[in-house]
Structure 1
């Protein structure tokens, strides 16, 4: 058997191990960078959500629907937001077709409307009416400034 150079074999094995460690170290560093990027993106999304939640806590928000109460029908407008709405007005974009005009004039404009409170406007419906929806605009002021919302509510 010939002279086998153990030193060269050990050096080659050490070189292979060093190359493997370098390669796997670089892969690990890339994965850590990707993880850091994902973590930063997630943090930005969380901050955006928190700022949106904080903004929602300062907003009034309105909903409207027709409801039957006994033999009468009423348009119920509700402040579903977290804060009081001030200087609340209603503007009928067409009509009003169903809401009695006197009802709207008597109750609006409102100086304020508390959170989760509502106002009921008496409405009429007739088989001879060709319109099936009431279109109106609610405007108000809350802690974030002047707001408005348009409604297109079908009568039941």
Structure 2
């Protein structure tokens, strides 16, 4: 299945970019890393208590809201984000950690951050909650970009 075209590493011409060009283990590692970062980010170890306060819930409320189902379904956006970052890494011909950080930061700030900022403006969301959530995406997308860059 063809996804698109990217410039060859030597800068000469274009080459087709197909899904089989991606390292499936790097994609799997990126998805796993994304899930682990999310579990840690929103746990009491890091920002879980602040997050609960900002969304106006208690830990008991989360347990009653079928958190397990939500966590299981969160693999769907994790897959989409990691595949998207891997595609951007390929199109950008990223080959170093610095390249990966440019891709991850651009994706997280330029796409996630700006979308979140728009929601902040129109839905009167909390600045602190928006920053906390966007921070998670920044870390997760940068890690996914590093994995996709170094493990091609």
> Whose relative contact order is higher, 1 or 2, with alpha carbons under 8 Å and at least 6 apart?
2
Q: TM-score, with normalisation over the residues of structure 2?
A: 0.23
Task: Please say which structure displays the higher CA radius of gyration.
Answer: 1
Q: Which has the higher helix share?
A: 2
